[in-house]
Amino acid sequence: MKSGSLDGSVLDRLYDVIQSRSGEDPETSHTAKLFDRGMDKIAQKVGEEAVETVIEATRERRDGVIDESADLLYHLLVLWAASDIKPKHVWAALEGRKGISGIVEKASRASG
Ligand SMILES: N=c1c2ncn([C@@H]3O[C@H](COP(=O)(O)OP(=O)(O)OP(=O)(O)O)[C@@H](O)[C@H]3O)c2ncn1[C@@H]1O[C@H](COP(=O)(O)O)[C@@H](O)[C@H]1O
């Protein structure tokens, strides 16, 4: 795979590492610490990182957006793991939307 190419493998590999931290020592693993603190804390972190990403974007700080996006994706993967959701479930949801314009999809919801 070309480094930095846009497929799910980086996230898939990070997810495997995250899952492997389940039951590990919270003193030595940040992921284990998050699992230990529970879903409310994990969800809060996802929200914080999303807001920080948005702030960097509105300030037009490209490097900041990249850093905060990485934090956001890591915490989102922790949230999936804590919810027993595997990346493949999300990839399948995205695949299922392939070729369906967001505008058409929204219109079908409004009329349904
Ligand atoms: N990608 C990440 C990653 N991104 C961010 N973070 C950590 O997330 C933390 C965010 O810090 P904050 O101060 O915002 O949050 P906090 O420490 O929970 O403090 P509070 O919100 O409670 O104030 C930092 O400690 C970052 O190091 C990450 N920690 C781990 N990973 C990946 O997960 C792998 C496993 O990590 P461990 O579980 O720590 O071994 C690592 O090899 C990395 O690949």
Domain range annotation of the chain:
9-86
Percent of the chain clearing pLDDT 70 (strictly above): 92
Q: Cα of 32 to ligand 1 centre, how many Å?
A: 10
**ipTM value of the model?**
0.93
Which pTM value belongs to this model? 0.89
SS3 22: coil
Residue 2 has pLDDT above 60, yes or no: no
Beta carbon of 51 within 6 Å of any ligand 1 atom: no
pLDDT tens track for 63-83: 999 999 999 999 999 999 999
Measured from the Cα of 14, ligand 1's closest atom is 44
Query: Mean pLDDT score of the chain, rounded to an integer?
Result: 91
Q: Give 30-66 pLDDT, tens digit per residue.
A: 999 999 999 999 999 999 999 999 999 999 999 999 9
To test ligand 1's pocket by mutation, which of 12, 16, 30 has the most ligand atoms within 8 angstroms of CB? 30
Q: Judge whether residue 6 has pLDDT over 60.
A: no
Kindly give the residue spans of alpha helices, DSSP state H, lying in the chain.
9-20, 30-37, 39-58, 62-82, 87-96, 102-111
CB 46 within 8 A of CB 85: no
Ligand 1 binding pocket includes 17 (Cβ within 6 Å): yes
The class level of CATH for 9-86 reads mainly alpha
Q: What pLDDT score was predicted for residue 1?
A: 41
Q: Is the CB of 80 under 6 A from ligand 1?
A: no
